[in-house]
C-alpha cells in the first residue's frame, strides 16, 4: 500500500467542510509521545484552520495505542461529530507490534461499524522511529493533518 504521490497533508482547503459548528475529540496515546504530540498538533492546528472553535476540540489521553479503542468508544457516547484516534506503534523485537497494530485497526473498524460517530485512524505503524518522524511533520507530511481533514469530511456524509 504505497503512499508515494499521495501526501494528503497538501490539499485543497476550499473543498473541506467548514468546522465552525463541529465538536471533535482527539484521543491521544502516550506511547512514543514526541510523535503522538506532533500528530496531535498537526490535527489540532488543521481543525482550528477550518474554524473549529478551540473549546470544541477535546483531548482525551490514554496510556497506549491499545487503549485508543476504549477511549474512542467512550467518546462515541459523548456529543462529538467525529473522533480522531492518534497513536504510534513501532516495531520492536517481539510480535507485540503485530498484535497491537491489528487489534487497534480492527477495534477502530468495529467502532465505525457499531457507533454513530466516525472514528478516524491516525495510528502510525512503522518499522523505525525515523519513519514515524517523517510522517509526523517530516518529509512525508503530517498524518495528523490528514486525519483532521478526513474527520471534517466524514462529518458531512
Residues identified as active-site: 96
Go through the chain and tell me how many residues it has: 157
Element (H, E) at 132: helix 129-134
CB closer to ligand DLZ, 22 vs 28: 28
Residue 31 within binding range of ligand DLZ, rule CB under 6 A: yes
Reference 99, options 91, 108, 109, 87; nearest CA is 91
CB closer to ligand DLZ, 88 vs 122: 88
Residue 28 within binding range of ligand DLZ, rule CB under 6 A: no
The secondary structure of residue 18, as a DSSP letter, is P
CB closer to ligand DLZ, 96 vs 109: 96
| Strands 136-138, 57-62: pairing kind | unpaired
Smallest separation, CB 16 to ligand DLZ (Å):
28
- When CB distances to ligand DLZ are compared, the closest residue is 64
Reference 118, options 71, 70, 87, 152; nearest CA is 152
Binding site for ligand DLZ (CB under 6 A): 29, 31-32, 63-67, 87-90, 92, 96, 100
Amino acid at each position: 500500500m504505497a503512499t508515494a504521490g499521495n501526501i494528503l497533508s497538501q490539499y485543497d482547503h476550499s473543498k473541506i467542510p467548514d468546522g465552525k459548528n463541529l465538536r471533535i475529540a482527539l484521543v491521544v496515546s502516550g506511547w512514543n509521545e514526541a510523535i503522538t504530540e506532533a500528530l496531535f498538533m498537526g490535527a489540532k492546528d488543521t481543525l482550528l484552520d477550518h474554524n473549529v472553535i478551540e473549546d470544541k476540540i477535546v483531548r482525551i489521553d490514554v496510556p497506549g495505542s491499545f487503549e485508543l479503542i476504549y477511549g474512542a468508544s467512550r467518546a462515541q457516547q459523548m456529543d462529538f461529530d467525529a473522533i480522531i484516534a492518534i497513536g504510534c506503534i513501532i516495531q520492536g523485537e517481539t510480535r507485540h507490534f503485530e498484535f497491537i497494530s491489528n487489534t487497534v485497526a480492527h477495534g477502530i473498524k468495529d467502532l465505525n461499524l457499531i457507533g454513530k460517530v466516525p472514528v478516524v485512524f491516525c495510528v502510525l505503524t512503522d518499522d523505525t522511529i525515523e519513519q514515524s518522524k517523517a510522517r509526523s511533520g517530516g518529509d512525508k507530511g503530517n498524518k495528523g493533518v490528514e486525519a483532521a481533514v478526513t474527520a471534517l469530511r466524514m462529518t458531512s456524509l
